[in-house]
Structures are given as C-alpha cells and as structure tokens.
Amino acid sequence: MNKKYLLYLAIPAVAVATLGIVAVSTVSADSSNTGNRIESLVNAISQKFNLNPTEVQQVFDDHKSKMRLQMEEKIEERLNKAVVDGKLTQEQVNKILAKQVELKAQEASFKASLEGKTKEEIKALVKAQTDSIKQWAEENNIPIKYMVFGGFGKHRGMGLGFGHFIRK
C-alpha cells in the first residue's frame, strides 16, 4: 500500500481522536503539554510508517485549520439564526464577532502567561479572563449562551478561544 495513502487514512483518524481528548481536558498545569503530545504523536507516526515528519505535521496543521474553520462557520450560523429568531440583534452579533477576533489575537500571549504557573495560578488567570468576558457580555446585554469563542466538545457555555470553557 502506498505510504502517502496510508498517511491520509491514519492521520485524520488519529488527529480527531487526539483533538477530542485535548478538547475535553481542562486547564493543564503545563500549558505546553498539548503541543508536546501532538509533537510526540507526529514523531511516532513518522517513525512507524517511515514518513517525513514535516509532511505528517502538515497533515495535522491542515486538519486543525479545517476543524477551526468549520467551527467558526457553525458559530456564525448559530448567531445568524439567533438574529432571525429575534434572540439577538445584528449589533450584538457584530460585537460578539469583534470580541472573538480580539480574543483570538490575545490567545498566544494568554497561553504564554500560563507558562511556569501552578495549577492554582492557572485556574485564577482563567477565572479572571472568564469573569472579564462574562462582565463584557452582561454590559452588552448578550446572553452567555451565545458567547462560544473556541474549542469543541460537549461543553456548554463559552469558550475563551483558548480551549477553556465557562460553565453556565
């Protein structure tokens, strides 16, 4: 069997399983742990099937981008439906989308601020960020259930764009 064909079959299945595990996990004391697990998995697949690690990593990156795009499309569909149903105004949707962009721009610095912190310190930083977004939503009269900014899984509430969730 062609190794590239095998790669295109194996990687998405493994990636979905891995991303599902990562998505349902809560804040880790080591914020770089997820990256290390993916890197380790990429290396293991590369070695097992004698593949170029750069190509395997590219498959993971492409899949992650595709999943993020699909998630963003679903969020926009949900927000547009809320406008049609009269649950949100277009102005509120515009504010939500602008906040999403703002948080996405802050994602790297937020993750960096978690490095070297204890689990308790990380919880406190995430809680502060969560409280800030909750307050923003209240100030803009936006129901918290429409504040879905990132991550995936079975969580209800608001993702911060960092893979963390606020529970209702």
> What was the pLDDT predicted at 72?
87
Q: In the predicted model, what is the mean pLDDT of the chain? A: 76
Percent of the chain with pLDDT over 90: 48
Quickly list H helices, the chain.
Answer: 3-24, 33-48, 53-84, 90-114, 119-139
> What was the pLDDT predicted at 2?
52
How many Cβ atoms from other residues are within 10 Å of residue 50's Cβ? 7
Q: The pTM is what?
A: 0.62
Q: Which of 24-33, 38-47, 62-71 has the lowest mean pLDDT?
A: 24-33
Q: Compute the distance between CA of residue 24 and CA of residue 155 in angstroms, rounded to an integer.
A: 8
Mean pLDDT over 139-159 rounds to 64
CA distances for 56 relative to 36, 48, 155, angstroms? 15, 12, 29
CB-count exposure of residue 30 (10 Å: 0-12, 13-18, 19+): middle
